Amino acid sequence: MANALLAPDLLRRLEAFELAAPRRSRGFARGERRSRARGHSVEFADYRDYAPGDDFRYLDWNLYGRLERLFLKLYEEERELPVTIALDASESMAFGEPRKFDFARRVAAAVGYVALCGFDRLRLSAFPDRPENQEAARGLRRVRGRASAPSFLAQMALLEAGGPADLSGALRRIALETRQPGLAVVISDFLDPAGYESGLKALWGRGFQVSAVQVLAPEEWAPAAAGDLRVVDCETGQAEEVTFGRYRLAAYQRVVRDYCDRLAAWCRRQGSPCFLARSDAPLEDLLLKKLRQAGIWG
């Protein structure tokens, strides 16, 4: 299956992975994940006392022979895992070379493909909600099954970045609108001046298992410009006059590193994996090795 976002060879290798979900699925539809529901699969779960009307086929007659009591065998029912990908498509994600959004969109496509190959129920939400993305967004709201992967990847390729960020607001809306929480993968630069804390708290409070992928551009790690600069916020248009000497580069990098470390530590305290990636990182190394090491899939 050819696709502009992910090479066919990479897609084949991704089919061996499964999204990590430490807690068992609470989805409604049958799928490939273990759940707390009791059904009639081949995975034995427990016993309970027989009650009038129970199916005699599930009585354990061997246990009856020993205890002279009727017990019903219960089996673990496999359910689908609801997967939500929250993709930051704000103007700040269009920054960098390579652009942060191009890299983030490919990571989102890979996560979605792994979910679809595992027969999980997938929803991708790109924010902000821009008219230019609405047609593609309609095809990404509810996707399930490997057969829908070509359409999913084609719609992903149509998304573009632009507009002001409201990271926490977008995550709160996702938490409120999602009927059945499951796994949420948030892909963003997490550089919203309004912060990210309330949005992530909303997902955790709703019962989501959250994984975070922070994407930064090489220029955000090591700016090439120096001297007296006029810096303009690409989303708000606000301008600031700054003097940035090359001798300040080390101090600047410490500030960036501390910011990223605080995000990762805050996520870890909630039991959520958080991974930092540069937009010029080798994609295959990130997907096949580092995200696995970060616990996002295995």
pLDDT tens sequence across 32-65: 444 344 444 445 556 778 888 777 787 888 888 8
* pLDDT at position 217: 97
Q: Where are the domains of the chain?
A: 8-22+81-216+258-293, 30-79
pLDDT > 70 in the chain, percent: 88
Which class would CATH give 8-22+81-216+258-293? Answer: alpha beta
In whole angstroms, give the CA distance from residue 209 to residue 82. 10
CA angle, 84 then 221 then 14, to 5°: 35
Q: Tell me which H or E stretch contains 170.
A: helix 167-177
pLDDT tens sequence across 205-223: 999 999 999 999 999 998 8
Average pLDDT estimate for 126-142:
88
Calculate the CA 211 to chain-centre distance. 6
pLDDT > 90 in the chain, percent: 52
* pLDDT at position 2: 44
Average pLDDT estimate for 87-112:
96
Running DSSP on this structure, what letter comes out for residue 59? B
Average pLDDT estimate for 130-154:
89
In whole angstroms, give the CA distance from residue 76 to residue 59. 16
* pLDDT at position 124: 95
* pLDDT at position 21: 67
Running DSSP on this structure, what letter comes out for residue 290? I
